[in-house]
């Protein structure tokens, strides 16, 4: 199999994939084609005209398209890998890596079927899993606070590009269980594991943490921190600071400082935000969503500049509309929250990605018979900035995958969904990634692969309505209408208020033709108009 190796990357033309450390690097189709042309002709300068004719064959496109795609490619592999030769074109200059091993077989999900990988390759950068901390407060009601603190630590580490960090959902499968650090390292594909405890009482917080090498079990770093409750951010900083300096001593202090984002100076607003998030896990009831929005409103009232709270409110509104019980007021509220969150001039990647995907989702939604204008450009700017800041953060990859799916950029969407699976390989909600992969294959016309994903999602989460919706649609695209009608009856048991009109109101796809065909399948399968 022909493949190219340069720096720490591998390019596999047979699979149209760029990989690093065995994992797929999200790259759009045009940017991928540019890379392939440049690396095939690395011995010379490739002119702009030649690149335009090779990457956009038979099309008349402006040079600006080349500039945009070249910028995306340089962002993915490093600007130093491609040199601009003034007046002539571009030349690929990255060092060839002849000592790299031949690429291992691709995980099943990256080649079409979204199955869980059997073996995870260690990333080329320090990789960390943060286990759920023990709550030593003696009050189970404080679990949300302890869990929130752990997620803050995960997010802080993921903001530093030098670390690969497993998402909270995967590490929390170990909550309340005896742990074998070496086994966890193998299961999650990481080198280091952080464990610890939190005691919150009498306005004081005590946190302990220890970082363990999962390969040999030795302790790399350990410390204990104590302070007033309103010093919680300082305690979190000391933990992430200690880990960073233990694993990557070359990190300059300025770089560590740059990644810090203070969510709010109001501890009560911060506390309300974490309580709201705990109410917004997928498949939660409407009553939970109502409570989450109420908590967000209180938090924002306490701190009108609480960008993370506003982004969370926007996501709550997206969930209401997507699940079928939202209305025009939810669309307007969600857009307002998203706009305000982005208006805080924050470079918080979580805020950028969550508010961005809310703009993309709600900016499309139908209000009665009127459709709001598409807001994909605004969403793209926010999410691309989030990717630039924190490419290893699960919220960022999830938002990027969702946005690319909406835009019909199926290869890029699949790459991002695959990255989600790697960041959170044991995620209890992995059916969301499976549905995303399936939807991308469906949009690309690969209905058999999409059907396999839908069947897997339904098996993983029988009560996940989005899996059932994907199943109905793909059975219909394959002409298996009797099976589609059976699946539709099950879908309507899960979401009895679902109608074709509501589907057209919330379908995230930019392609009007695809939405039309899907709507016709739902009608034929027995979904009410």
The arithmetic mean of pLDDT across residues 215-223, rounded, is 85
Hey, what are 426's tokens? 């044991």
pLDDT: is 321 or 483 the higher one? 483
C-alpha dist (Å) from residue 498 to 75, 275, 502, 522, 525 = 41, 29, 6, 10, 13
Q: Band of the pLDDT at 365, cuts 50, 70, 90? A: low
Q: What is the pLDDT of residues 43-91, one digit of tens each?
A: 888 998 899 888 888 777 778 778 888 888 887 787 777 888 877 888 8
pLDDT tens across 228-259, in order? 877 777 777 778 777 777 776 655 444 445 55
Q: Which fold has domain 127-259?
A: Rossmann fold (3.40.50)
pLDDT, mean over the chain: 82
The Cα–Cα gap between 457 and 471 comes to 9
Parallel, antiparallel or unpaired: strands 219-228 and 366-367: unpaired
423-529 is classed CATH 1.25.40.10: yes
Res 104 pLDDT > 70: no
**Phi/psi at 27 (5° precision):** -150, 125
CA proximity to 266, closest of 221, 303, 307: 303
Banded pLDDT at 364 (limits 50, 70, 90): low
**Distance of alpha carbon 509 from alpha carbon 439, whole angstroms:** 10
pLDDT class of 261 with cuts at 50, 70, 90: low
* Each residue's pLDDT tens digit, 79-91: 777 888 877 888 8
Nearest to 387 by CA among 27, 9, 114, 7: 27
Measured N-to-C along each axis, helices 349-362 and 307-323 cross at an angle, to the nearest 10 degrees, of: 30
Which stretch of 179-188, 223-232, 426-435 has the lowest confidence by average pLDDT?
Answer: 223-232
Please write the tens of the pLDDT for every residue from 433-446. Answer: 999 999 999 999 99
Domain ranges of the chain: 4-92, 127-259, 264-390, 423-529
CATH of domain 264-390: 1.25.40.10
Model confidence at 125, pLDDT cuts 50, 70, 90, reads confident
Domains 264-390 and 423-529 are alike in CATH topology: yes
The b-or-e profile of 375-398 (16+ CB within 10 A means b, else e) is: bbebbbebbbbbbebbbbbbbbbb
pLDDT of residue 257: 52
d(CA 238, CA 193): 17
Q: Which fold has domain 4-92?
A: Arc Repressor Mutant, subunit A (1.10.10)
**Crossing angle of the two packed helices 307-323 and 267-278, in degrees rounded to 10:** 20
pTM over 0.85: no
């Amino acid at each position: 199999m022909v493949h190219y190796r340069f720096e720490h990357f591998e390019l596999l033309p047979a699979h149209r994939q760029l990989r690093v450390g065995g994992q797929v690097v999200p790259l759009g189709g045009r940017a991928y084609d540019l890379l392939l042309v440049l690396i095939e002709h690395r011995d010379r300068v490739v002119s702009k005209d030649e690149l335009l004719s090779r990457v956009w064959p038979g099309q008349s496109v402006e040079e600006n398209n080349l500039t945009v795609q070249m910028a995306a490619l340089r962002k993915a592999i490093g600007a130093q890998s491609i040199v601009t030769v003034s007046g002539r074109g571009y030349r690929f200059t990255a060092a060839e890596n002849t000592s790299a091993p031949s690429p291992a077989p691709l995980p099943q999900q990256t080649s079409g079927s979204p199955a869980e990988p059997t073996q995870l390759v260690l990333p080329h950068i320090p990789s960390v899993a943060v286990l759920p901390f023990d709550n030593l407060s003696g009050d189970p009601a404080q679990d949300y606070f302890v869990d929130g603190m752990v997620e803050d630590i995960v997010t802080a580490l993921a903001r530093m590009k030098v670390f690969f960090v497993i998402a909270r959902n995967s590490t929390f499968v170990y909550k309340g269980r005896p742990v074998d650090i070496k086994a966890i390292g193998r299961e999650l594909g990481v080198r280091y594991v952080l464990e610890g405890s939190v005691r919150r009482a009498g306005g004081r917080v005590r946190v302990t943490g220890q970082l363990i090498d999962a390969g040999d079990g030795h302790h790399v770093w350990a410390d204990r921190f104590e302070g007033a409750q309103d010093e919680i951010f300082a305690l979190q900083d000391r933990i992430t600071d200690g880990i960073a300096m233990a694993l990557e001593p070359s990190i300059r202090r300025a770089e560590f400082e740059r990644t810090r984002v203070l969510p709010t100076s109001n501890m009560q607003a911060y506390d309300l935000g974490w309580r709201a998030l705990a109410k917004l896990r997928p498949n939660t009831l409407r009553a939970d969503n109502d409570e989450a929005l109420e908590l967000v409103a209180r938090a924002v009232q306490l701190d009108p500049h609480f960008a993370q709270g506003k982004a969370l409110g926007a996501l709550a509104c997206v969930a209401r509309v997507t699940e079928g019980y939202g209305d025009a007021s939810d669309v307007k509220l969600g857009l307002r929250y998203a706009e305000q969150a982005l208006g805080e001039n924050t470079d918080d990647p979580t805020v950028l990605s969550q508010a961005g995907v809310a703009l993309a989702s709600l900016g499309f939604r139908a209000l009665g018979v009127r459709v709001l204008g598409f807001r994909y450009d605004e969403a793209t700017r926010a999410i691309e900035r989030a990717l630039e800041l924190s490419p290893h953060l699960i919220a960022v990859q999830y938002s990027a995958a969702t946005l690319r799916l909406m835009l019909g950029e199926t290869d890029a969407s699949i790459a991002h969904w695959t990255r989600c699976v790697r960041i959170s390989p044991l995620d209890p909600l992995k059916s969301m990634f499976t549905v995303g992969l399936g939807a991308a294959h469906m949009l690309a016309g690969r209905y058999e692969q999409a059907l396999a994903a839908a069947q897997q999602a339904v098996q993983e989460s029988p009560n996940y309505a989005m899996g059932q919706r994907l199943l109905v649609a793909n059975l219909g695209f394959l002409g298996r209408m009797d099976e589609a009608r059976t699946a539709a009856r099950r879908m309507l048991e899960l979401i009895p208020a679902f109608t074709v009109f509501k589907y057209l109101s919330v379908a995230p796809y930019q392609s009007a033709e695809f939405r039309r065909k899907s709507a016709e399948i739902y009608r034929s399968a027995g979904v009410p108009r």
